[in-house]
Amino acid sequence: MAVRSLLDGNLPQAQQEVQRVAIVTASIALGVWLSTMFQEAMVKHLRRIHVREKKE
């Protein structure tokens, strides 16, 4: 869509569409990153619990 707007000479519309795509892409990347960080923290926590249970 942004390309079509550029070809039609509608620069503000094209900029808005590109900005929208950038925001969605950044949001998805942030969600994946946060999910990964949460998963790593959960694995570490579960390992600590498992080690404690073995000691007892």
Q: How far is CA 47 from CA 21, 35, 38, 43, in A?
A: 39, 18, 14, 6
Q: What is the pTM of this model?
A: 0.69
List CB contacts of 3: < 8 A, sequence separation 6 or more: 14
Residue 56 has pLDDT above 80, yes or no: no
| 27-48 confidence digits (pLDDT tens) | 999 999 999 999 999 999 999 9
Q: How far apart are the first and last CA of the chain?
A: 62
